[in-house]
Amino acid sequence: MSIYMDNAATTMQKPDCVIDAVVNAMRHMGNSGRGAHEASLDASRLIYETREMISDLVNLGSPRQVAFTCNSTEALNTAILGLFGPGDHLISTVMEHNSVLRPLYRLEKEGAELSFVPCDASGMLCVDTLEQYLRPNTKGLICTHASNLTGNANDLKKIGAFCKEHGLLFVVDASQTAGVLPIDMQAMNIDVLCFTGHKGLYGPQGTGGICVRAGITVRPLKSGGSGIHTYLKEHPSEMPTALEAGTLNGHGIAGLHAALGFLKQTGTDTIHKKEISLMRRFLAGVKEIPSIRLYGNFDTNERAAVVSLNIGDYDSSEVSDELSVTYGISTRPGAHCAPLMHTSMGTVDQGMVRFSFSWFNTEDEVDTAVRALKELAED
Amino acid sequence: MRQKEWKLIITFHTTSDAIAFEKACKENGKRGRMIPVPRELSAGCGLAWCTLPADRAEMEEFLHTQNICSEDIAELLY
């Protein structure tokens, strides 16, 4: 028996319609924007429709401002390196994943200045301290919507209002929340939103994107084939082509298109409610185990369905391995590419064992995981 | 080869704009189809909307109402 509870890494179980769409695309799809024959046009049509679906999902207001990337990391690199430069001061948070931190550190080496907003003991962002990080050269604020480690979510409306008030560009990493929590780019004053397709959107790996508010120019990381302006020496500047050099992952985007259809039909709210209900069942079970230490704030359901924990002083890798080998339960131990968050929570040495739930998990699976943890804790 | 006839050709800056226009045309019952950009037109996008010259005013108005930017609108033998 195998129980998959590493959905914050990727939702391994996908709706059948997603798998069927990828297979169908691999049989029939041409290269989008590379010809006017039906196979190419079909690819262009499907990709355009997917832009519309993403634009609607996050209330961007313009499908042309959705550019596809191969994941959040590519989108975040594009946003951070394409908007900011030497001399700029940027505010970020200790909740960030390395996909945000490493491009920021690269900018720092090139002459940018960085400040990181801390979290409290439960891993909640100290959002009321934002003002104290402002400098005359502060140009932007980059933050995650929800921590991939604790599942705690940030109040994007509040942070977006702060950015608007102080004229900062607001870049959001929605890796853990696209398809999970409501995102309204206009109401939240988000300038650039980066997402991945293979987590809460239930699409294939190798899909993701960057949503850029109209009027904002992001310098592209790549240049190359575009299907347009062939004789120009520079890559075209019009969105979305500006940020899409080379052949798109049309097969993957076909799967993402089906996944977005699944989300719309099922309802993101319905999916989130189920995931949170599984998370609460798991929490109730593990809270009874004396040696278990939980991380994160569970006062609200406005969060990702993630529970990270440790058993006593056991190495998280050891616990995760035991869960995998003895019980067939897949979890993620270690540092989760979130170095500042582990530093903040005091778990650099031990790491954490992360359980993350999806639409495809069941109450029986949750109960099995709780029993497994009880047995391990009693060892 | 087919005998050439006068056509109205609309070109676009990006593939997305071209596809957005095609979609809008289909949804609103406008006649025409997507073609590769003819060599007479130096257009940004490799796709162009091809319809009849008689539709010019209607197409210009439609582009405006759909908020889609064309790169060029030309009549030529195609």
Question: CB-hemisphere CA count at 13 Å for A317?
Answer: 6
Return the pLDDT at B40.
Answer: 86
Return the pLDDT at A230.
Answer: 83
Q: Is residue A249 part of a domain?
A: yes
Q: Does residue A89 sit in the same domain as residue A119?
A: yes
pTM exceeds 0.90, yes or no: yes
Q: How many domains does chain B have?
A: 1
Q: Is residue B23 part of a domain?
A: yes
Q: What is the pLDDT of residues A218-249, one digit of tens each?
A: 999 999 988 888 888 899 999 999 999 999 99
Q: Band of the pLDDT at B44, cuts 50, 70, 90? A: low
Mean per-residue pLDDT, A282-309: 97
| CATH number (domain holding residue A355) | 3.90.1150.10
Confidence check: pLDDT of A187 > 80? yes
Q: Does residue A282 sit in the same domain as residue A373?
A: yes
Q: Is residue B22 part of a domain?
A: yes
In this structure, what are the phi and psi dihedrals at residue A84, rounded to the nearest 5 degrees? Answer: -120, 165
| CATH number (domain holding residue A187) | 3.40.640.10
**Lookup: tokens for A359:** 């639409």
Q: Calculate the alpha carbon distances from A290 to A253, A297, A330, B38 in Å.
A: 46, 19, 23, 74
Q: Calculate the alpha carbon distances from A356 to A200, A281, A290 in Å.
A: 11, 13, 21
Q: Is residue A5 part of a domain?
A: no
Domain of residue A51, residue span: 16-266
Q: Does residue A260 sit in the same domain as residue A322?
A: no
Based on C-alpha coordinates, what's the Rg of chain A?
21
Confidence check: pLDDT of A88 > 70? yes
Confidence check: pLDDT of A70 > 90? yes
Under 8 Å between Cβ of A89 and A137: yes
Query: Cα A195 to chain center, whole Å?
Result: 5
Return the pLDDT at A369.
Answer: 98
Return the pLDDT at A227.
Answer: 84
Q: Is residue A4 part of a domain?
A: no
Q: Does residue A44 sit in the same domain as residue A134?
A: yes
Q: Does residue A175 sit in the same domain as residue A272?
A: no
Task: Give me the residue label for tokens 């070109």.
Answer: B11
In this complex, which of A34, A48, A228 lies closest to B19 when CB atoms are compared? A48
d(CA A212, CA A308): 32
Q: Does residue A289 sit in the same domain as residue A243?
A: no
Return the pLDDT at A279.
Answer: 98
Amino acid at B24: A
Return the pLDDT at A231.
Answer: 84
Mean per-residue pLDDT, A186-213: 98
- Cis amide prior to A240 (ω within 30 degrees): yes
Å from B22 to nearest chain A CA? Answer: 9
Confidence check: pLDDT of B43 > 70? no
Task: Give me the residue label for tokens 């989108």.
Answer: A75
How many residues make up chain B in this entry? 78
Å from A31 to nearest chain B CA? Answer: 12
Q: How many domains does chain A have?
A: 2
Domain of residue B23, residue span: 6-77
User: How much of chain A exceeds pLDDT 90, in percent?
Assistant: 96
Under 8 Å between Cβ of A198 and A220: no
Mean per-residue pLDDT, A305-312: 97
d(CA B19, CA B25): 10
Tell me the residues of A at the B interface, defined by beta carbons under 8 Å apart: 32-36, 41, 44-45, 47-49, 51, 63-64, 227-229, 236, 238-241
Contact residues on chain B for A239, CB-CB shorter than 8 A = 14, 16
Q: Does residue A224 sit in the same domain as residue A301?
A: no
Confidence check: pLDDT of A277 > 70? yes
Q: Return the bridge partners of A310, or none.
A: A293
